[in-house]
A and B are shown apart, each in its own frame.
Chain A
């Protein structure tokens, strides 16, 4: 039974962090930390204080093999890591997971750009961009007309912190990763030409993310996904 008395509880958690407790006691405290935010905070506070003792020790450079081993264990080998992380990035947005069929389709299209362009020049698309996991909360809508030009239209005006920008992205080929389509002013429409966006494909993903002011410092999203959606064919002319 874990004491309710705060100072005793904090000391007990300190003993847990040090690893002093026997198995049964440790299991009890572990359980508490898993479910009680205050207990979890106490554990991290102890750990933070004890860092002073760790930092007294001289650092020991790991062998070069350690990083390679770690990459192997996690499937982060350099050549494929980028693709994996792109895939993970998009697939982590579970509501918008690409089906393997759509993915295969997108990849086939990617190697046949000219053929596709001829065939689909007259297609128009709509994308409803919604907050991740909230299907009933559209924030923006994208129209791609028969000439291939894109219009991003706001449905509401978000309040964005002054030190942040909203960035517009699309994902055509997961192997290449998301492509920036530029910054967006909350509440303001954006118009892009067919040349700027390229051919749009059914199922193509679009998203808006919250980035540092001026846009992501990297060539991919780094911040929270605000809205996401994929292209559906609006009409075939």
Chain B
């Protein structure tokens, strides 16, 4: 879980100076949350651990490329993790059958779902915006995020024509960015 007090940027800059203690602190801070996402994307714990391993290797080796002017350190770390995970998914051609119930629930736009969201923490800007867009746009975005599916795979999963899915995702992201940058 992100801790507002943890200074990801400074730790990455220390890694760029080959400070292995900063690297270890970063690992202790973030590895479990990263593994949670990797397991969700890849469906298998052993492969997810490989993915987190590879991501940290990249983080250590490329830390000097991180620039805090471009964005948050934590976002940078997850860019690397996501890239590794997607590559793993693509190279094995997918797909493990996974239980997507929780995505269904996340895509839920019932009043109860909205209320539940209201009760949860501070950092829910994106989720609030997601709740504001239509379910048929939200659901494919969540499938992409949590399962790393391509346009085509989402179209198959939702038995919806590819062009329609592409259009819905694009419209959904446009609506999200308007809401987020409003």
The listed residue with most B CB atoms (<10 A of its CB), out of A17, A18, A21, is A18
A193-211, CB under 8 A of B: which get 1 and which 0?
A: 0000000000000000000
Q: Is B37 an interface residue (CB 8 A)?
A: yes
A17-59, CB under 8 A of B: which get 1 and which 0?
A: 1111110000000000000010011011101111111111111
B161-180, CB under 8 A of A: which get 1 and which 0?
A: 00000000110011011001
Binds B, one of A62-70, A146-154, A155-163: A62-70
A44 to B78, CA, bound (A): 9
The answer to whether A15 touches B170, judged by C-beta atoms less than 8 angstroms apart, is yes
The answer to whether B126 touches A50, judged by C-beta atoms less than 8 angstroms apart, is yes
Q: Is B182 an interface residue (CB 8 A)?
A: no
Known: A17-B82, A74-B60. A88 touches B53 (CB 8 A): no
Chain B residues closer than 8 Å to A43, beta-carbon distance: 71, 79
The answer to whether B57 touches A50, judged by C-beta atoms less than 8 angstroms apart, is no
Main SS at interface, chain A: helix
A19 to B17, CA, bound (A): 31
A125 to B126, CA, bound (A): 62
Q: Which of B137-182 contact A (CB under 8 A)?
A: 141-142, 144-146, 148-151, 154, 169-170, 173-174, 176-177, 180
Known: A53-B146, A54-B78, A59-B32. A85 touches B19 (CB 8 A): yes
Would you list 17 pairs from A and B whose C-beta atoms are within 8 A, ordered by A residue? A7-B174, A18-B141, A19-B150, A22-B150, A40-B70, A40-B71, A47-B79, A48-B71, A48-B74, A52-B124, A53-B127, A60-B48, A66-B52, A70-B57, A76-B23, A85-B19, A88-B18
Q: Which A residues fall within an 8 A CB radius of B?
A: 7-8, 10-11, 14-15, 17-22, 37, 40-41, 43-45, 47-63, 66-67, 69-70, 73-74, 76, 81-82, 84-85, 88-89, 92, 222
